[in-house]
Structure formats: structure tokens, C-alpha cells
């Protein structure tokens, strides 16, 4: 991808509520309204690491495809982009609808528990979800200082995991969704993400108005808009539409910046993983 294309993204990002933050070659996408509300946040790119996906890639997960020393060095570099001394909290993602409450720093450390969303109000913690085409959603409650990170692939979206994360914040921290600021990060977008009959059927069973998320392509197939589906789940849960910011990047199109499972797994047999994180500043 030509450098002028990457530079030209800056104005598009500003209009969408995002900007780039860089340190020592590591490039991270930050949601401005979340940051201004008091939340450290960022969506990683593939730039500035030590992994061979290809050379110098910032792979942040997938220990079965990348040596642990690479992943931990990449995470160290990634965390240096954020001001503050943070512990990174992630979970074993299984494309489900489990939501973990992270109570403190000790609770945040790497876990084999199976969850696809994390919520917390603890200081010193950056909770994060791993993606490579799926939709990452970051949520901040400026009033109660609670926050959430959500991994929403098509399976998680069908199970309304974004809604369940919001409800967990309400139950655990007394949050009011009308106070929330949300960022929906880079993912496989509707112009490129084609799905088959099994996913169409799952959406038809889950959502009465499912057709608004689909654009038919060929027999038994359609393009799907997971950004819109998760946006709608947030608004139905009570989040104000004007407080939801969507990153204008498709991971399938922009493999110069992001990992894409759909593109790279097919071509190379493996792909790296991105991290989307949020915590209290």
C-alpha cells in the first residue's frame, strides 16, 4: 500500500473520532472521545514487532503459530505506547458469549478461562480482546469509570455478546448505558465479508430484521455488516448513537496495517492477531 494512502487516512480518522499514536515503529489506533473521557485505549496494527508474519510484524497472540518470546516482546512494545504502568488482561476466546468481570490487577493476568468479553473498573489494568477480522468493541463509562472489551465475530454477534457486556456493566458497576462511549474497531467490513447459508440462517433465527445486515451476492451467500449489527446491539441496550464511533478500516482490504484471517490463513497457513485494549487513565 503506498505511503500516501496511509497518510491520507488521517483526515478520515479525525472525522470518525480516531487518530494514530506511534512509538518506536508501533502504530496504534486510538479513539479520541474515549481518551478524552479518561480511558486509555487502542487498536493495534501489525507494524513494529518482531514476528515473521512477515518480517517485523506485531503479532500479539497465537502461541501455537509464533514463539512465546516473540509474542511477549511484541506485547511489551505495544504496552509502551500507553502512558502508565498497566497489566494486560486477556482471556481464552472461544467465539461464545461469556463475560468475565476483572476485579483487580491479579485477576487480569493471562488466564485460560474461556470468555469473549471482559469488563472491569480496576485501575492499572488494560483489558483486551484478540482479533484478525472479527469485530472488537471497546466501551467506557465515564461516570462510574468502568470499561469493557468485547470480541464479536459472527457467532458472538448472533449471541448478542455486546449487549451482554453492557448488561454486565449495569449489574456489576451500576452503569447507565446512556453515559457510555463506545468504539468499534477495524474488522472485516460489509464490502468484503461474504458468508454462507449457515451464517445467514443463524442471523435469521437471532434477529427479526436480519436482512438489513445482509447484501446477497450469489446463491446461498451474502455480504454481512457486523459493524452495523453490533452498533444496533449497543443502541438497543441503551447507548446513544452519537456516542458510538466506528473505525473506517476493513482488515481484509488493509493487510498493510492489519492482520486478516480470511486473507492470510488461506495464503500462508497462519496469521497474526491484533489486540484491542481499554483501561482507566
CATH number for the domain harbouring residue 138: 3.60.140.10
| H helix or E strand, kind and range, residue 162 | helix 161-173
pLDDT at 133: 98
d(CA 169, CA 173): 5
Residue 36: inside a domain, yes or no?
yes
Residue 247: inside a domain, yes or no?
yes
Name residue 89's beta-bridge partners: 127
| pTM for the predicted model, two decimal places | 0.95
**Among the listed residues 108, 161, 152, 118, the one whose alpha carbon sits nearest the alpha carbon of residue 133:** 152
* Phi-psi map region of 111: left, alpha, beta (phi>0 left; psi -120 to 50 alpha): beta
Give start and end residues of each alpha helix (H) in 26-126. Answer: 32-36, 68-79, 105-108
Residue 74: inside a domain, yes or no?
yes
Q: What is the mean pLDDT of each run of 10 residues along the chain (281 residues)?
A: 51 91 97 98 98 95 95 97 92 96 85 90 96 98 98 98 98 98 98 97 97 97 98 98 97 96 90 97 89
Q: What is the count of structural domains for the chain?
A: 1
Residue 32: inside a domain, yes or no?
yes
Residue 259: inside a domain, yes or no?
yes
Residue 184: inside a domain, yes or no?
yes
Collapse the DSSP code of 173 into the 3-class scheme (helix H, G, I; strand E, B; otherwise coil) and give the result: helix
Collapse the DSSP code of 155 into the 3-class scheme (helix H, G, I; strand E, B; otherwise coil) and give the result: helix
171 prior amide bond cis, ω within 30: no
Provide the grid cell at 126.
488494560
Count Cα atoms within 13 angstroms, Cβ side, for 23. Answer: 12
d(CA 271, CA 134): 13
Domain that residue 164 falls in: 3-189+243-280
Residue 230: inside a domain, yes or no?
no
CA dihedral (221, 226, 230, 235) in degrees, to 10, reads -80
Residue 147: inside a domain, yes or no?
yes
Amino acid at each position: 500500500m503506498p505511503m500516501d494512502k496511509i497518510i491520507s487516512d488521517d483526515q478520515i480518522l479525525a472525522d470518525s473520532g480516531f487518530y494514530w499514536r506511534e512509538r518506536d515503529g508501533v502504530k496504534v489506533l486510538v479513539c479520541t472521545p474515549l481518551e478524552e473521557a479518561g480511558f486509555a485505549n487502542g487498536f493495534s496494527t501489525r507494524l513494529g514487532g518482531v514476528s515473521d508474519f512477515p518480517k517485523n510484524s506485531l503479532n500479539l497472540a497465537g502461541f501455537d503459530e509464533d514463539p512465546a518470546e516473540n509474542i511477549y516482546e511484541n506485547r511489551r512494545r505495544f504496552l509502551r505506547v500507553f502512558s502508565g504502568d498497566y497489566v494486560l488482561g486477556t482471556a481464552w476466546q472461544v467465539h461464545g458469549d461469556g463475560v468475565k468481570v476483572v476485579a483487580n490487577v491479579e485477576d487480569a493476568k493471562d488466564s485460560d478461562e474461556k470468555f469473549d468479553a471482559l469488563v472491569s473498573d480496576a485501575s492499572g489494568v488494560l483489558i483486551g480482546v484478540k482479533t484478525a477480522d472479527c469485530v472488537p468493541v471497546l466501551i467506557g463509562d465515564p461516570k462510574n469509570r468502568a470499561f469493557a472489551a468485547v470480541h464479536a465475530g459472527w457467532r458472538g454477534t448472533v449471541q448478542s455478546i455486546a449487549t451482554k457486556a453492557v448488561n454486565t456493566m449495569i449489574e456489576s458497576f451500576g452503569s447507565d448505558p446512556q453515559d457510555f462511549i463506545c468504539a468499534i474497531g477495524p474488522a472485516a467490513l460489509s464490502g468484503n465479508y461474504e458468508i454462507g447459508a449457515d451464517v445467514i440462517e443463524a442471523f435469521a433465527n437471532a434477529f427479526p430484521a436480519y436482512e438489513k445486515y445482509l447484501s446477497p451476492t450469489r446463491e446461498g451467500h451474502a455480504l454481512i455488516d457486523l459493524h452495523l449489527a453490533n452498533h444496533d446491539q449497543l443502541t438497543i441496550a441503551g447507548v446513544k448513537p452519537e456516542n458510538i464511533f466506528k473505525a473506517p478500516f476493513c482488515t481484509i482490504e488493509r493487510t498493510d496495517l492489519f492482520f486478516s484471517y480470511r486473507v492470510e490463513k488461506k495464503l500462508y497457513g497462519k496469521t497474526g492477531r491484533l489486540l484491542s485494549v481499554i483501561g482507566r487513565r
